[in-house]
């Protein structure tokens, strides 16, 4: 078996709202796969169908070679899940919940106490506190530790770093990278492009319930243009420069988007004109979507 997750033409509606509209998603065994999309694109619905919590209206989904709805219990013994909005039983402590979730995963699944303690320390969690006293970030940590300390072969993370501070985000990235070396499969849903860039082998971008793009990050470089804004000393012309897009020059102010390969040539022209201030930033996912897909829909003449 080469695919841990295979989803074909998946459809799901809630009343009149169409959450998934023919989604395809293939996650290879042993890879970290990022599942990217803006809020409301259908990421959580997909994961809930994969967990057998929701029933699909059409299409096929298979998880670790089984049917996520019919074989839910058998499959769940082999996976661990971190929901996007972690709620915990308020009267239980974090430590109790970590142990409980491990035990619920079944007799075959064991939690290594040393590994658990190391993770608790890594994420700086106080396991003796009642869950009602935890902040959102701390609740997220409880679910992450429970998943990472397990020996599950598939990890499903739904926006796992929402609520974590940058330090804990780094800890999470380290952990996922070491999972990759252990040969575990990870599906990571996110709306943060940088997170996907830092962690994943392959990416699927979902929009309006369909897969808009899928491939390795190298294949998707065209999505990761850098936005450049500059205040120049004199006039500049970017005519005939390949890989520079959406050029907007207002007097000495410049706004454009550049492919990675074109950055050097662009900067040579800008320094020739004299740079007073310069700002370069990677585009947000929303910007990408706005540019890439609304342009596609409304035709080449439209400017997003």
Partner 1 sequence: MTIQAPPAARAGPAGTGRAGPGLAGTGALTKLAFRRDRIMLPTWVYLITVMVGTNAYTFRKLYSTAAARAQLVVSGGGNPALRFLYGQLNGSSVGALTAWRIGVWAALFCALMTIFIVIRHTRGDEEAGRLELVGSAVVGRQAALTAGLLTAVTASVAVAALLGVVLSALGLPVSGSVVFALAIGANGLAFTGIAAVAAQLASGARGARGIAFGVLGAAFMLRAIGDSAGPSGPSWLTWTSPLGWVELTRPFDGQRRWVLALPCAVLAAGVGAAYALAARRDLGAGLLPDRPGRASASGLLRGPLSLAFRLQRGVLAGWAAGVAFIFAASGAAAKGIGQLLGSSTALQREFTRLGGQTAITNAYLAALMVLAGLGAAGYATSAVLRLRAEETDGLAEPLLATAAGRIRWGLSHVAVAVFGAAVLLAVAGLAAGLGYGLRAGSAGPQAARMIGAAMAQLPASLVIAGVAVALVGLLPGACVAGAWTVLGVVVFIDLFGEALQLSHWLLDISPFTHAPRLPGGTVSAAPLLWLCLAALAFSAVGLAALRRRDIG
Which residues contact partner 1 (rule: CB under 8 A)?
48, 51-55, 72-74, 76-77, 79-81, 83, 85-93, 95-101, 103-106, 109, 126-130, 132-133, 143, 156
Contact yes or no for 107/85 (Cβ under 8 A): no
C-beta closer to partner 1: residue 74 or 221: 74
Q: How far is the CB of 157 from partner 1 (least distance, A)?
A: 12
Residues composing the chain: 304
220: tokens are: 């998707």
- Cβ-based burial of 287 (10 A; exposed 0-12, middle 13-18, buried ≥19): middle
DSSP 134: -
C-beta closer to partner 1: residue 129 or 269: 129
CA distance 178 to 219: 24
C-beta closer to partner 1: residue 53 or 261: 53
C-beta closer to partner 1: residue 74 or 245: 74
DSSP 150: S
Sequence-distant (≥ 6) Cβ neighbours of residue 25 within 8 angstroms: 5, 6, 7, 10, 35, 46, 204, 206, 211, 214
Q: How far is the CB of 94 from partner 1 (least distance, A)?
A: 8
Q: How far is the CB of 224 from partner 1 (least distance, A)?
A: 23
Number of H helices, E strands in the chain: 10, 13
Q: Angle, nearest 10°, between helix axes 94-104 and 136-148?
A: 40
Q: How far is the CB of 191 from partner 1 (least distance, A)?
A: 20
Q: How far is the CB of 86 from partner 1 (least distance, A)?
A: 8
Q: How far is the CB of 174 from partner 1 (least distance, A)?
A: 23
C-beta closer to partner 1: residue 9 or 77: 77
Contact yes or no for 215/29 (Cβ under 8 A): no
């Amino acid at each position: 078996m080469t695919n841990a997750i295979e989803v074909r033409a998946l459809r799901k509606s809630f009343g009149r709202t169409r959450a998934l509209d023919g989604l395809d998603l293939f996650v290879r065994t042993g890879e970290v796969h990022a599942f990217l999309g803006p809020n409301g694109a259908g990421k959580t619905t997909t994961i809930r169908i994969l967990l057998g919590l929701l029933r699909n209206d059409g299409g096929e989904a298979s998880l670790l070679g089984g049917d996520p709805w019919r074989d839910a219990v058998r499959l769940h013994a082999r996976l661990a899940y971190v929901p996007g909005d972690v709620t915990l039983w308020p009267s239980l402590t974090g430590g109790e919940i970590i142990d409980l979730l491990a035990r619920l995963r079944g007799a075959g699944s064991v939690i290594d106490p040393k590994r658990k303690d190391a993770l608790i320390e890594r994420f700086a969690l106080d396991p003796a506190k009642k869950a009602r006293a935890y902040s959102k970030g701390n609740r997220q940590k409880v679910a992450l530790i429970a998943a990472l300390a397990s020996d599950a072969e598939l990890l499903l993370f739904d926006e796992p770093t929402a609520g974590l501070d940058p330090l804990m985000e780094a800890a999470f990235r380290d952990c996922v990278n070491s999972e990759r070396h252990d040969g575990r499969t990870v599906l990571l849903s996110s709306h943060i492009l940088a997170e996907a860039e830092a962690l994943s082998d392959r990416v699927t971008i979902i929009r309006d319930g369909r897969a808009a793009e899928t491939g390795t990050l190298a294949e998707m470089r065209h999505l990761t243009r850098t936005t450049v804004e500059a205040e120049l000393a004199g006039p500049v012309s970017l005519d005939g420069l390949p890989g520079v897009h959406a050029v907007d020059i207002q007097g000495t102010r410049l706004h454009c988007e550049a492919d990675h390969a074109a950055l050097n040539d662009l900067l040579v022209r800008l320094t020739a004109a004299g740079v007073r201030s310069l700002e370069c930033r990677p585009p947000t996912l929303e910007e990408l979507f706005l540019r890439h897909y609304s342009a596609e829909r409304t035709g080449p003449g439209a400017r997003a």
